[in-house]
Structure 1
Amino acid sequence: MILKTFTQHPADVGETYGEHLVHASGFGFRMIWAGLACVLHGVFPFLFIKTGSKQIAHLHDRMVANRTKLPDGWSYII
């Protein structure tokens, strides 16, 4: 039962636990990087002018492309 809680969602999107860990971590680290770039841009407006918006667009494109793997497209349990 406990194992299923770790493997159900990855299986729903066609990934193993390890694959899901890598993809989700990649998203998370990219969001952290983009957030730091946005903070630095706020302090120094001449730095990272398009970095935040480019990262958001990139992550959105990846997420939309992978969303079709889900049965109904929005099967998220938070």
Structure 2
Amino acid sequence: MTPFTAHPQTVGETYLQHMRVAASFGLPMIAGGIACLVHGVFPFLFERTGSGTIRSLHERMVANRRRKADAGEPCHELDWCI
């Protein structure tokens, strides 16, 4: 097991699957952060973008945990099981 595959295996993913999931969270976080910075300078722009991004990503993460819990899958490293 290499450093590239150790963590992905703990969450039941291959390296490429894990990279895709991480990017699907990371890219919206970057875009939301940029929107927040722009909003700081131009308060009339992106009034709800940052909070909407956080809310959307949180819902995705919580829904994924619930789906795993409902399927009887065990909690893995760094999962916050409900």
Q: For this structure pair, what is the TM-score category when the shorter chain's length is used for normalisation? A: 0.7 to 0.9
**Pair 1:71-2:69 in alignment:** no
Count of aligned pairs between the two proteins: 73
The 5-angstrom pairing of residues 1-78 of structure 1 reads 1=1, 3=2, 5-68=3-66, 69=68, 71-72=74-75, 75-76=77-78
- Structure with greater contact order relative to length (CA < 8 Å, sep ≥ 6): 1
Root mean square deviation, CA, Å: 1.9
- Cα distance 1:65–1:7, how it changes in 2: closer, same or farther (>3 A)? farther
Structure 1 portions without partners, runs of 5+: none
Instruction: Give the partner amino acid of 2:75.
Output: D
What are the ranges of 5 or more consecutive residues in structure 2 without an aligned counterpart?
A: none
> When the two structures are superposed, what TM-score results if normalisation uses the length of structure 1?
0.77
Percentage identity across paired residues of the two chains: 56
3-state SS of 2:5 partner: helix
Matched residue SS, 1:67: helix
